[in-house]
Structure formats: structure tokens, C-alpha cells
Amino acid sequence: MATLKNQTTCPYCGVGCGVNTTHDDQRIIAVSGDEDHPANQGRLCVKGSALHETTAMEGRLLKPRVDGREHSWNTTLDTLATRLEGIIAAHGPESVAMYLSGQLLTEDYYVANKLMKGFIGSAHVDTNSRLCMSSTVVGYKRAFGGDLQPCSYEDIDHAELMVLVGSNAAWNHPILYQRMVAAKNTNPDIKVVLIDPRRTATADLADLHLALKPGTDALIFNAILAALAERNALDADYIDAHTEGFDAALSAAQTSAGDLAQVAREADVPLIDLEQLVDWFCSTERTLTFFSQGINQSSSGTDKVNSIINCHLATGRLGRPGMGPFSLTGQPNAMGGREVGGLANQLAAHMDFSQSAFVGRVGRFWQAPNMATREGYKAVDLFEAIERGEIKAVWIMATNPLVSLPDANRVRRALEKCELVIVSECMANTDTLELADIVLPASGWSEKNGTVTNSERRISRQRGLVPPPGDAKHDWWIICELAKRMGYRDTFDYASPAAIFREHARLSGFENNRTRGFDISGMAELSDLAYDSLKPIQWPVNEQAPKGTPRLFADGHFFTPSNRARLLPVTPQAPKQQPSSEYPLIVNSGRIRDQWHTMTRTGRAARLLQHHAEPFIEIHPDDARRFQVEHLQLAELQNELGRYRGRIRITDQQRPGEVFIPMHWTRQFTQTGISGSLFAPEVDPFSGQPESKQGRATLKPLHMCWEARLLVREERSIEDHWWTRVPLNHCTSYRLADTEAVENWRDWCESHLGVPSLWLDDQAHKRFRAAGIHNNRLDWILLVEPSAELPDLAWLDSCFDVEIDLDTRRQLLDAKAPGEQATGAVICSCFQVREPDIISAVIEGADSAQALGEQLKCGTNCGSCVPELKELVKVHGVEKSA
Ligand code: SF4
């Protein structure tokens, strides 16, 4: 079979790294960073480096299904069209909705919006990007007259001050973070400030960390604006020539944050640190302010975004190298979705429902018979409308709302009641799929063909390199085939994604006349060949900028009616979900380093689950004492909405009174670990973005009688105990635990696993070990302990891949190969370097992350683990000197 090489784009975060692939005509064999892609210049983080490990066929959804039975595409699409038409005829077009995803390609997104907003006539099309950056969209639109991100990654190379607010870039935008590290290494005079309640890995780069009280970000930026005025650091000429609204914005800032000492008290940060931030901000022309979910996922996220932009407009710091307000987008194509109107309050090509002229223009261009004329429901409202029975049919594509939306239990109830749930998905097992009436198998990364746009407005190709498995089809094809069956054959008769892209590009330039910032009309005539070989390019791409545009607003022209940028008066608001005597802890949620969203893909790569293998609760030592929980003990957070179980991790990186939980775990990976269960559906009034950074709960320890590790060749359902699942290379590993004792473990084995081939029952130490061997192959092994101190996995996993000889048989219940040392958590996922080896190297003299890298290679690829390496040097270097 011939081996081919190609270029595509990573499907995970908004950095949008270019990926070189080696593949044959069936599978991706290897990946590496694309040196020619400007976003990453040859580097990949650990998630990107493991892409080829997530593309195996096992677990893929292969056949369309209707009401639980497999059917051909013809039958399935006919049935879908008939059912949708029936619902529309009975209840009107607004009884139908779509819920899309930043994982879709721009071309998929474009036809989905066109079908719903122009032809079915419903604007109830929202996307999981609503949960990610919709507050930024509104903030940019209010300030600039369009959803226009002004900066470019190359600005990092020019900045003198980088402020990261609500952004753990070290874990969530790792390659961009590495660029920040490189910039600071080149010029140590560059100042970096982190504003975040948690001391995250990003703090490692920071000269200053403001661990502020959650939700007080706008107060800090109002304080900066007031100080800029007081210290004469404004750019009066820029304000006069290019902005409006300055006086009102300044007045609001002075009223709420005119007194730095008072702000420091309210934000709970040391005054000296706040003064340092203000000094640097006032005196540094080349200032970049990065922000992401810590700002957006708030009930006042839009105002927070505008409080940041205000400071840049008041100093004229945008449109030039090394400066600007820079939203780091979470998903690979959230920006592409925004371009085509993927949000319920948007129309295509950066138009919306605010003017009838926009609706008319898009309708004319599409020759649409049923243009929606008003905004649809945003994500939270949309699922509430489903629960009320107002929306009768919902089509969910490439996302898992049962896990990712707030009040996850209510979302489940809504979908259970919905008349018609359609799910397009590439994986066979997701929480949302369990509730689908019609299941549509979709192509995935390396199969899909189209474009994505990253955080710096750069459009890149995601290429179809291998064929989709089974009957899986591309999303754009599925949508167009349905549209044809609903009577729109001519308008949805696209030959390829290239044809869709050309139409999208034409619409962006249609009656534009420099009134809309998003304009890629320069690519409206791309041939199929030119589309296929398209190099990454930053929009706008038009007659004036045929090679793209690294930076917006260099000429001071904005897209508001007056062509001036707007400063907004911001009155800081407290989060809606406040702790109470019953629920005294603030709950924060977010991503972890090696996982992506709901783990449907990253959860398939064994090495990506070795950094954190189960849901956890990070808590300050004071709170651990207060709630009587111990490090690594299982515990439960609970509030009026739901429960979340995870393992306690005591850390002073948390503020007292606040806990952090990861957002990734689903019912496919654990019993009770959905973070969304704890968050109320409180949203920002302008953007509709949920407040996922502040919930509230109480905490109780779970006093487990026993913990066990079970490794099995075939996956099992073990619902009668607490469990988490980790796929390994040759088997599946479960951790099990319970507060109730098991009377007879041998009986338990027989009822859950089969008759043990060998076992060891050490009742005095509450320890039981057993294994099932069939035809000299290991089928399962169970290791029960009274505590969480269970043996490690690597050797046991390898036993599922070999014949079990007499020696191995003797070792099995010892759970490790002869002479094997204790293993521990994998810190460097790229080179699989474990914590005990790193600690030994530190004790033996390695005194820096660099020295560890030279000795063990850890931290020398993507660099994401460098902050953890430094922490280990800090902690265990003391042991050496002691
Ligand atoms: S930084 Fe983001 S886009 Fe780049 S390789 Fe990692 S996950 Fe993929």
C-alpha cells in the first residue's frame, strides 16, 4: 500500500496548528507539526501529537439508524425529511431547531445555516460556541461594529507586556503559550501578568499573578481605565479621531473603580500587585491582553470583554504590531462558525437580524423562499424551549449537550421529552446518542474535507485524507441531501466543499462596500485545484488585501454606523451563583492539559489519560480540613441541581472557599462526573453565554470500604459501584470503589467476570486479587485494596497482549514484573516520563526543567509539562539540599 504525505489542520483548540500527516489510503500512520504553517511553525502539543492514536475504527458509528434499527441512507433521509415536514406542517418552521458545534467545518456550518434560516425558515440554530466565546462576539460587535478579532499571533513577537486574563494558555492553547515563552526567553524584559483566581500552569511564565476574587475582572480593567486617565496615559488624539463613548466609559470606570485601594479590597488582591499591573499597563505601549473562558463564561461576560477593549481603545493600542485585545478561541472552528452565522442571533457573512436590510440581502443572495426574520433561541433557551414542548425536533451535530450545557440533568429531561431527536456523530457511544431517534454517522478528522478559521482569523484547510469508515458521510453532504428531499434540489446541489466555500466567499463580498469587516470575496473564484492547495490565509481577503490581513483597524476605520469604535460604560456585576450557608463552596470548571471537550476522541488515546485518569476536585488545604477530606480520597460535590464525584487533590493553587473540577468526564467514562450537573443555567443578558466558571456546592467525603482496579479484555458495565474507565493499549481499565463492603469477592468475580483462574484472598489486610485466564490469554484481572494505593498499569496492560506462561502466571497477582520499580503519574505525555523518575533525577542533582529535559527528554517536545517539572524541582530540590 502506498504511503502518502499531506498537510491538514489539528481539530482541537483554536490555535489551529498545521499538521503533517503520513498515511496510506486507509489510515493515518503518523503526524508531526507543519513547519510552514504560521500558527505553529512545526510544533504540536501533546493532543496534536497523539492525533493518529485517536483515529482507530473501533467505536466508530458506521450505519444510519432510525428508532434503533439500521437503515440505508436513502431510507433514513427519506424518513428524516418526512418527519421534519410533518412537524413543520403541524407546528410551523420554528418548531424545528439545530444545535451545531465548533468542530464542524465552515462548509458544513454554511449549508446548515442556509437550510434552516433561509429555507425551513427557523433561526433556532445555535452552537456549542455559545458556551465558549459568544460574549466576545457581542463585545467585539459592540466595540468595533463587527465580530472582528484585531490581532495576529505574530503580535506576541512584538509585545512588551502580555496580560492573560481568565486564560490558562499553558494547557488550553499550548503552542501559543510556547510562543509567549519563546518571546520572553528572547527578551526577558517583556512583562507577563496572569489574572486568574487559580495559580494555573500559565502562572509559571508570569512576572505577576493576580489571584483575584472570581468575577471581579471588570473591576480590575475599570481601575486600569481610571488610572490611565489619572496618570495622563490616554491617547487623546486617537480617542478624538476614532472613538465614541469615551466620557461615559471613563465616568463608569471612575465611579466603580476610581480608588485602587478599594478595588484591591473588593477584588481580594494585594494593593501592591494591583499597582504594579496598573503601572505596567499605563507605561507600556505594546500591550497585548489575552482573554478566554474565564472572561466569557460569566453572567456579565460581555461587559468584561468591553472593559478590556475600553482600555485598548483609550490608549489607541490596537491595529499596530504587539498590541490589542486578543480573544483566544476555544474550538478549532468557532471563528468559521461565526463567519457563516452559526449563532442563533446571527445571519451569514457577519450580518444579523438587527436590520431588515440584512435579512433582505441574505435572502436575495440565497434566493431563499422562507427567510427567518427574527433571532432564534440561544443554547440555554433552546433546550428550555425543547423542554416546554415548543420545539418538537432538534438536530444535534458533532456535540454532546447532555454533558456540556449547564444543568445537564434538565437537558437530559428535555431531550427525553422531545418528539424527534436527530444526532449526527462519528462515535458510536456518546451520552447524547443514547437519546437519538435518528442517528446519522458522520465523517471525522482526517476524513472531512473543508476549511477552519483559527483565533487569528486564519483560514486553513482540513483535508480529507482517508475515506470515512462504513456508511459514514460528510456533514455537508447529509444536510444537502436532506435539503434536496425537502424540495430545495437546485439550491443545495453542490458538487464539493469547494463549491460551498466559493458561495460563502461571494456572499461575504455581496453588497459589502466596506460595510462589513468579514470579506473573503478575493477567494470567490478559487478553482477546485486552488481550493485544494489553499495555503493558510488571514481574512479579510479581497481586492485591497489579496494576500490577507494580519491586523485589523490599522487605518482607524471601524464598522459601526459612525465608523468609530465604541467605548462602553461598564458597571461591574457579581456572579449570579453565589455561595450560601447550605452550599458554601464556589465551583469553577475548565479544561485539563491532555483532554479535549467530552473525550470522544482524546479519551481513545491511552497516553492522554495518564496525566489525569479520573475526575477530580482541586481544593485548598484549609477547605480540605474544613470538609474533612484527604488527598486522593473520593468525595462528592452536591447542590440543588445535581452531584459530581471525583478524587480530592489538595493544592494551594486554589483560593480558599473555591474548588476546581474538570469539564471533560461523561457517563461513558465515569458514573457521576458531569461538571455541568452543578451549574445553574444563568446566562449573560447580551450573549446568552452560561456562567460556567462559578457554581456553588457543598462537599462531603466518601468513605470507601475498598477500591479496586479491574482490567478487562472486553468492556463491562459495572453500574453497582462507583467507577471510572480508561482505555489502555490492550485492554480497558476500571477503577471501582464503594462505601459498602463486598461480602465475598470470589462470588463477586463469578457474577461479574467469570470463575477466577487464580486468586489470593488476604482478608486480614482486606486485599483480594484474582485473574481470569482462558486458553493462556488473560481475560481479566481484579486487584482490590482497602485504599487508593493500587498497582500501576503498564505491565498488566502488556499481559493482555502475550501468552500467559508459568512465570507470568506467578507474577500476575503481584501485579508487576519481577524487579519492576513503582511507577507513578505520567508528567510528560510526549515521552511518557513518570513522576518518580523525575523526582529521582531532581534528588540526584537535576536542578531545572532544562536539566531534566537533557536527562530524561521530558518537556522537550510540546513543553506543556514544563511548569509541572519546575514545580517538582522546586519541591524535591529541597529534599536534595536537606
Ligand atoms: S495547540 Fe491546539 S491546535 Fe495546536 S496541536 Fe495543540 S490542540 Fe492542536
Mean pLDDT along residues 752-757: 92
Residue 13 in contact with ligand 1 by CB distance below 6 A: yes
Indicate which residue's Cα is closest to atom 6 of ligand 1. 45
By percentage, how much of the chain surpasses pLDDT 70?
96
335 confidence band (pLDDT: 50, 70, 90): confident
Mean pLDDT along residues 787-800: 78
Residue 879 has pLDDT above 60, yes or no: no
Q: What CA–CA distance (Å, rounded) separates 203 from 189? A: 17
Q: Which atom in ligand 1 lies closest to the alpha carbon of residue 332?
A: 3
Q: Which atom in ligand 1 lies closest to the alpha carbon of residue 173?
A: 1
Indicate which residue's Cα is closest to atom 2 of ligand 1. 13
Residue 608 has pLDDT above 70, yes or no: no
Q: pLDDT per residue over 529-582, tens digit each? A: 999 999 999 999 999 999 999 999 999 999 999 999 999 999 999 999 999 999
881 confidence band (pLDDT: 50, 70, 90): very low
Q: What is the DSSP string of 415-472?
A: HHH-SEEEEEESBS--TTGGG-SEEEEB--TTT--EEEE-TTSEEEEE---SPPSTT-
Amino acid symbol at 66: V
128 confidence band (pLDDT: 50, 70, 90): confident
Query: Ligand 1 pocket: which of 10, 462, 596, 865 to mutate (most atoms <8 Å of CB)?
Result: 10
Give me ligand 1 centre to Cα 40, in Å.
8
Residue 819 has pLDDT above 80, yes or no: no
Query: Ligand 1 pocket: which of 21, 31, 32, 40 to mutate (most atoms <8 Å of CB)?
Result: 40
Residue 608 in contact with ligand 1 by CB distance below 6 A: no
pLDDT value, residue 834: 82
Give me ligand 1 centre to Cα 48, in Å.
5
Residue 460 in contact with ligand 1 by CB distance below 6 A: no
Give me ligand 1 centre to Cα 43, in Å.
9
401 confidence band (pLDDT: 50, 70, 90): confident
Q: Which atom in ligand 1 lies closest to the alpha carbon of residue 46?
A: 6
Amino acid symbol at 882: A
Indicate which residue's Cα is closest to atom 5 of ligand 1. 48
Average pLDDT, rounded, for the chain: 92
Q: Running DSSP on this structure, what letter comes out for residue 742?
A: P
Closest listed residue to residue 591, CA positions, set 96, 97, 166 = 166
Give me ligand 1 centre to Cα 690, in Å.
25
Q: Which atom in ligand 1 lies closest to the alpha carbon of residue 49?
A: 5
pLDDT value, residue 821: 56
Give me ligand 1 centre to Cα 19, in Å.
9
pLDDT value, residue 665: 79
- SS3 at position 299: coil
Mean pLDDT along residues 794-814: 85
Residue 624 in contact with ligand 1 by CB distance below 6 A: no
Q: Which atom in ligand 1 lies closest to the alpha carbon of residue 10?
A: 8
pLDDT value, residue 130: 86
Indicate which residue's Cα is closest to atom 4 of ligand 1. 17
Q: What CA–CA distance (Å, rounded) separates 730 from 726? A: 11
Query: Ligand 1 pocket: which of 21, 41, 44 to mutate (most atoms <8 Å of CB)?
Result: 44
Residue 302 has pLDDT above 70, yes or no: yes
Q: Which three cell numbers stand for residue 27?
A: 489510515
Residue 830 in contact with ligand 1 by CB distance below 6 A: no
Residue 639 CB coordination number (10 Å): 21
484 confidence band (pLDDT: 50, 70, 90): very high
Contact in structure between 447 and 468 (CB atoms under 8 Å): yes
Amino acid symbol at 802: V
pLDDT value, residue 333: 85
Residue 33 in contact with ligand 1 by CB distance below 6 A: no
Q: What CA–CA distance (Å, rounded) separates 465 from 3? A: 11
Residue 755 CB coordination number (10 Å): 10
Q: Which atom in ligand 1 lies closest to the alpha carbon of residue 454?
A: 3
Residue 45 in contact with ligand 1 by CB distance below 6 A: yes
606 confidence band (pLDDT: 50, 70, 90): low
Give me ligand 1 centre to Cα 862, in Å.
10
Give me ligand 1 centre to Cα 237, in Å.
40
Give me ligand 1 centre to Cα 11, in Å.
8
Q: Tell me the whole-structure pTM to 2 decimals.
A: 0.91
Closest listed residue to residue 445, CA positions, set 463, 469, 470, 430 = 463
Backbone angles phi, psi at 85, to 5 degrees: -60, -40
Residue 616 in contact with ligand 1 by CB distance below 6 A: no
Q: What CA–CA distance (Å, rounded) separates 56 from 53? A: 7
Give me ligand 1 centre to Cα 38, in Å.
13
Strand partners, 784: 708, 768
What are the CA-CA distances from residue 25 to residues 3, 29, 471, 865 (Å)? 8, 10, 17, 34
Residue 237 has pLDDT above 70, yes or no: yes
pLDDT value, residue 785: 83
Give me ligand 1 centre to Cα 128, in Å.
19
What are the CA-CA distances from residue 103 to residues 415, 426, 514, 651, 787 (Å)? 21, 11, 30, 33, 40
Q: Which three cell numbers stand for residue 152?
A: 495576529
Give me ligand 1 centre to Cα 49, in Å.
9
Residue 40 in contact with ligand 1 by CB distance below 6 A: yes
pLDDT value, residue 882: 42
778 confidence band (pLDDT: 50, 70, 90): very high
Contact in structure between 231 and 250 (CB atoms under 8 Å): no
What are the CA-CA distances from residue 199 to residues 213, 274, 524, 714 (Å)? 12, 16, 46, 40
Contact in structure between 155 and 538 (CB atoms under 8 Å): no
Contact in structure between 289 and 194 (CB atoms under 8 Å): no
Give me ligand 1 centre to Cα 30, in Å.
16
815 confidence band (pLDDT: 50, 70, 90): confident
Residue 789 has pLDDT above 50, yes or no: yes
Give me ligand 1 centre to Cα 455, in Å.
12
Q: Which atom in ligand 1 lies closest to the alpha carbon of residue 12?
A: 7
Residue 175 in contact with ligand 1 by CB distance below 6 A: yes
Give me ligand 1 centre to Cα 17, in Å.
6
Mean pLDDT along residues 512-526: 95
Residue 646 in contact with ligand 1 by CB distance below 6 A: no
Closest listed residue to residue 157, CA positions, set 182, 194, 189 = 182
Q: What CA–CA distance (Å, rounded) separates 17 from 37? A: 7
Amino acid symbol at 517: G
By percentage, how much of the chain surpasses pLDDT 90?
72
pLDDT value, residue 605: 67
Residue 863 in contact with ligand 1 by CB distance below 6 A: no
Residue 260 has pLDDT above 90, yes or no: yes
pLDDT value, residue 403: 77
Residue 170 in contact with ligand 1 by CB distance below 6 A: no
Q: Which atom in ligand 1 lies closest to the alpha carbon of residue 175?
A: 1
pLDDT value, residue 823: 61
Give me ligand 1 centre to Cα 155, in Å.
19
